[in-house]
Structure 1
Amino acid sequence: MMSASAVFVHLIGGVALLIWAVRMVRTGVVRAFGSSLRSVLASATRNRVTAVLAGAGVTVLMQSATATAMLLTSFSRRGLVPLAMALAVVLGADVGSAVAAQLLSLNVSHLWPVFVAAGVVTFLVSDADRPQCIGRALIGLGLLTLSLQHLRSTVVPLAESETFGLVLAALAGEPILAAILAAGITWAAHSSLAVVLVIATLALTGAVTPTLAIAAVLGANVGAAAAPLSANWGAAAETKRVPFGNLIMRGAVAAVLIPFAGSLAELAASFGLDGARLTVDAHLAFNIMVALIFVPLIGPVSRLLERIVPATPQPADPARPRYLASVPADVSSEALAAAHREALALGDRVEAMLIKSMEALESGDPKLIRELRLADDAVDAVNEAIKLHLVRMSRKGMSEEDSRRFMEILSFTTNLEHIGDVIDKQLLEMAEKKGRAHLAFSSEGLADLKAFHARVASNFSTALNVFATGDPDLARRLFAEKTAIRDLERHFAERHYARLRAGVTLSMETTSIHMDVLRDLKRIHGHFVVVAQPILEACGELSDTRLRSGDPAGPGRPASYRRTEADGAQPA
């Protein structure tokens, strides 16, 4: 006979194992089939019925209505799924979670060694990402059934405890308090499935009365709806609408039913339902009821949500990322897509800085220089946010393709930060120096700098398009510009030396600034032209030393290049 403290420790351990097992199943399924599941959800939102069925099916696989709600929150925030259809999917997800509880309530705990063994073998026999994720899900399923077996053996002595019996008896007489307690526990665990299975296990021994079981199940459903809302509490209004709508719908029905938990228990008893079967059946019946009531009312509910949760325009903060919020951490493709969009937006900011830098060099305007320095601070902040986002995402495990994209995004944003630093620390310093000394470029010198700057800026725009599309033709064109920029820098430098030999006073006064601007613009070009390298390497057109001859680089483009460590890819 175990002591009360030992029983309590075993109970906590069993519940913790159950919660962790549910998470393993969810993350394994999401990583193995995340893109397919998201495609199913997105394509099934043409009408309410398919939306409900898709939500139910996806949730049965993921074992988590909360995870489905988080995916739908992301879709709805970006306008990919109408709010009404997102709510329909969430209602289906709630039903799917209840169906999963029905399946897991069956006495299949003796199969846990089979699930674990199959999962370990699947994980170990292949180095590919998907088989390993499937193995993870199977191991999670085995641990889930093992945890249920452990809980059933633990609650037997617990049910015999006089103190525990008094506590449960008191809660049975206070269904509202019991529902609130169950809601809080479910919110903390982020899994109604785990809490409902624990309640069912306790009900199996008779420790939980039918009235208490029904009240706790209703509270668990409310707590499960509150979890995604609290996770997105500080996000934009559009992000909060789907979980808030789910909470309103589930909470409204639960609020009506909780005071009648005793009467519902008597009604269930008349049908011969009690114990664990009553718990999981009440869970399923509640979610089916919510779906039947609110699927026809999805339109009015979505309009109500848009009214009570209005999209309040926020002043744009240049140092705040636009696309990284509310991305499901377990879906690497979703997280990478958000980082890719953020990197493109960062590129637009740096491009604007580059374009304005020529005006700052020409005018020496202190106000414009301060504006560009603030822009560089914002670029640094967003770049840091992208890096942290990518690091957090990488901890979840990535496929080979996702790892390649991860490195491309990280390299691109790092080079963008370097470009911003060159503009801030070099070009703007020279603009200030020129302004303090009241210097001016000669008309010919200024024209040369503007022409070189325009060529670099044009190629920067091409680099952003290369990063956005991965187009090999654009990559070849950008890569070939290395030769043109090198030759153009030499040409303009020679023209400047000719003016010095001719004794042009303005050129003599600004010679160091002029040459430094040419050098730094070439440095900037070297930082962004490397975006073409991984694309050409993937096409098999770029070797370690040379671009293979005979490539369709187009007329007038060089066919071979040499690679240097200092400057990325340099034309031969």
Structure 2
Amino acid sequence: MLILLNLLSGVALLVWGSHIVRTGILRVLGADLRRVLSRSTDSRFKAFGAGVAVTSLVQSSNATAVILTSFAAQGLLPLASGLAIMLGADVGTALMARILTLDLSWLSPILVLVGVPLFLSRKQTRAGQVGRTAIGLGLILLALHLIVEAVQPMMQGAGVRVMFGALTGDTLLDALVGAAFAMISYSSLAAVLLTATLASSGVISLKVALCLVIGANLGSGLLALTGTLAQNAAARRLALGSLAFKLAGAFLILPFTSLLASGLPMLISLPREAVVGFHLIYNTLRCLACVPLIDPVARFCYRVLPDRPDPNGELRSLHLDVAALPTPTLALANAAREVLRIGDIVRTMLDNVADLIHRNDLQKARETARLDDDVDYLYAAVKDYLSRISREQLDETDSRRWTDIISLTINLEHAGDIIERIVADIEEKKISHRLSFSEEGLGELDDLHARLVSNLQLGLSVFLNNDLGCAELLLAEKERFRDLERAYSYKHLDRLAGQTVRSIETSALHLDMLSDMKRLNSLFCSTAYPVLDAAGALHDTRLRKRTLDAIHVATE
């Protein structure tokens, strides 16, 4: 019993090590890997090579599939290019299996010895995640060594032979067992490494090992497909196409496993090397042969899973991919893109306000008020998405980014509410009474509106790029806006004193709009403060502003 527990614990350690390596690499290079994959769509073979390279790093075709299906769901990746990358990912997994089965037992203690202090001392940094990856690699190598030691005494027991005896007759059953293990362990790589180790110890025959390897490939395809069930048709088409390639390869090769099992030892004598070599050769030949079939398979996937229009026509978040949540860097990038989408809706609302200032359009006023519901929906979606990101896994930089994203989300939601109130006031106090602003008042509102739009765009740019110069400019624009709002309020009071009829009729609305615009501008300019504060320039900027104000007052 103890020997069996040792084997199972070795398998669990192998799975856990694979998980640690995958998450560590994604946290260090997640955004860069996404960028490489997104820019590899202009050539099939370039896309294929990108899939090989990225999957060799993360050691998991499933992790690559998560990134790709996220791109596909957002409409950022053509199906044909995605299928080419997925084929490359299968080859990348086979390459890593070959490397990890080399005699690297001496490397395991070194990796763990270096990785543990590096990770514990610098958990929330990129260096700490590199240490985490080193620990994972060390655990994988240690697990393989433990599995080899555990199976040696097991071969002496009759119970073990009976247990594995079920994997000696039925080719399809053996393949299904391999698929099941790959799905349970969430790693076809772990399944292949375990199979190679069991074959080298004589626990299973070479034929069974080959069937298990083919089944592990199928399991990774099923994992990708089940992971996209909650996503749209574009993501599911990509996973379906990848699974179709794997099914075709399995059906072609499974009838010949007995022949391969008898002939392969003449080329590769060691069972472990034979299993891993077969895995690499099989995946490479299968994937290269499938590259010319990408277009027909893509058309088949479109027929099986066509795009269907949303019957409700409701707004939906485009970038909040749940599959990216275990990788905080990727999840934060997704949230930032969705926040920029909220900014675009707020910009549309502002443009509509400009029209309502000039024209009494009741339909546009009500459509603008309805847009605030879209802002509220996306605000709730982003807030929920951010709350599901583990704060403990964020380093210092990502923690600041998390705070910046939630702050901007809240500010844009407040901005939507303010614009909705402005529109309601226009509808009640101007449109319903068929009034219009005076020429002077109209010019003032147009000026402040143009500055609002400009500062919104500049604020979103500062949020996206963290540019110090733009942040300082944005803070200066905030002060300038405040001064203009005060000056325009005084001018309006002068027009009231001069008995300007239109100014009298729209006075309450005009002053309320000036005040609301100032609040909007403060919300839009708030993105400058984190950038200035991080650069240590916030105090200097405020001090310089006070000095210039004092000089201005002294010279008047």
Report the TM-score, using the length of structure 2 for normalisation: 0.84
Which residue among 144, 150, 155 is the counterpart of 1:148? 144
Query: Unmatched 5+ residue regions in structure 1?
Result: 550-557, 563-572
User: Which residue is 2:284 aligned to?
Assistant: 288
* In structure 1, C-alpha distance between the alignment counterparts of 2:429 and 2:363, rounded to whole Å: 15
Aligned to 1:323: 319
Which residue of 2 is the match for residue 344 of structure 1?
340
* Inter-partner Cα distance in structure 1 for 2:332 and 2:366: 33
1:355 aligns with 2:367: no
Q: Is the 8 A contact 2:175 2:216 kept in 1?
A: yes
Whether the aligned pair in 2 keeps the contact of 1:318 and 1:375 (CA below 8 Å) is no
Q: Does 1:491 align with 2:461?
A: no
In structure 2, relative to structure 1, the CA distance for the partners of 1:76 and 1:516 (3 Å cut) is closer
1:447 lines up with 2:416 in the alignment: no
> How far does residue 387 in structure 1 lie from its aligned partner after superposition?
2.9
Q: Residues 365 and 11 from structure 1, CA distance in 2 versus in 1: closer, same or farther, beyond 3 angstroms? A: farther
Aligned residues: 549
Does residue 253 of structure 2 align to residue 239 of structure 1?
no
Q: For 2:116 and 2:40, how far apart are their aligned partners in 1? A: 34
Q: Which residue of 1 aligns with 2:184?
A: 188
Distance 2:417 2:430 in 1: 20
| Residue in 2 that maps onto 1:569 | none
Point out where structure 2 has 5 or more consecutive residues left out of the alignment.
551-556
1:119 corresponds to which of 105, 115, 120: 115
Contact conserved, 1:545 with 1:561, CA < 8 A, in 2? Answer: no
Q: Judge conservation of contact 2:472–2:541 (CA < 8 Å) in 1.
A: no
- The alpha-carbon deviation at position 527 of structure 1 amounts to 0.9
> For 1:422 and 1:272, how far apart are their aligned partners in 2?
73
Match of 2:422 among 427, 432, 435: 427
Hey, what does 1:71 align to over in structure 2? Answer: 67
* Maintained 8 Å contact 1:214/1:265: yes
Equivalents in 2 of 1:359, 1:88: separation in Å?
Answer: 48
Change (3 A) 1:561 1:396: farther
Provide, for residues 67-97 of structure 1, a one-character-per-residue CA deviation record: whole Å limited to 9, x for no partner: 2333344455667666545433332322222
Partner in structure 2 of residue 131 of structure 1 = 127
Q: 2:404 corresponds to which residue?
A: 408
* RMSD between superposed Cα atoms in Å: 3.8
- For residues 275-314 of structure 1, give each alpha carbon's deviation from its aligned partner in whole angstroms, at most 9, with x where no partner exists: 4344323322321231242234445444554555545555
Q: Is the 8 A contact 1:57 1:96 kept in 2?
A: yes
Report the more deviating stretch, 266-275 or 480-489.
266-275
Residues 1:100 and 2:96 aligned together = yes
Relative contact order (alpha carbons < 8 A, sep ≥ 6): 1 or 2 greater? 2
- Residue in 2 that maps onto 1:543: 539
| % identical aligned pairs | 39
The 5 A counterparts of 1:440-519 are 440=435, 443=438, 447=442, 450-451=445-446, 452-468=448-464, 470=466, 474-501=470-497, 511-519=507-515
Whether the aligned pair in 2 keeps the contact of 1:22 and 1:194 (CA below 8 Å) is yes
SS at match of 1:548: helix
The residue aligned with 1:208 is: 204
**Greater Cα shift, 135-144 or 527-536:** 527-536
Matched-pair contact (CA < 8 Å) for 2:445–2:514? no
* Aligned residues of 1:547 and 1:561 also touching (Cα < 8 A): no
- Does the CA-based 8 Å contact 2:196-2:271 persist in structure 1? yes
Secondary structure in structure 2 of the residue aligned to 1:415: helix
Three-state SS of the structure 1 residue aligned to 2:319 is: coil
Determine if contact 2:124/2:393 at 8 Å carries over to the other structure. Answer: no
Match of 1:377 among 360, 373, 380: 373
- 3-state DSSP of counterpart to 1:543: helix
- More displaced 10-residue stretch of structure 1: 92-101 or 262-271: 262-271
**TM-score normalised by the chain length of structure 1:** 0.81
Residue range with higher mean Cα deviation, 239-248 or 347-356: 239-248
Query: Displacement of 1:490 after TM fit?
Result: 2.5
- Using the alignment, how far apart are the partners of 2:405 and 2:76 within structure 1? 24
2:170 to 150, 174, 182: 174
Distance 1:72 1:439 in 2: 54
1:361–1:428 contact (8 Å) kept in structure 2:
no
Task: Please tell me whether the aligned partners of residues 68 and 82 of structure 2 are also in contact (alpha carbons under 8 angstroms).
Answer: yes
> In structure 2, what residue type is equivalent to 1:31?
R
The 8 Å contact of residues 438 and 503 in structure 2, kept in 1 or not, is answered as: no
CA distance in 2, matches of 1:416, 1:356: 16
Partner residue in 2 for 1:15: 11
Tell me the amino acid that sits aligned with residue 87 of structure 2: L
Query: Between Structure 1 and Structure 2, which shows a larger proportion of helix residues?
Result: 2
Contact 1:330 1:396 (8 Å CA) reproduced: no
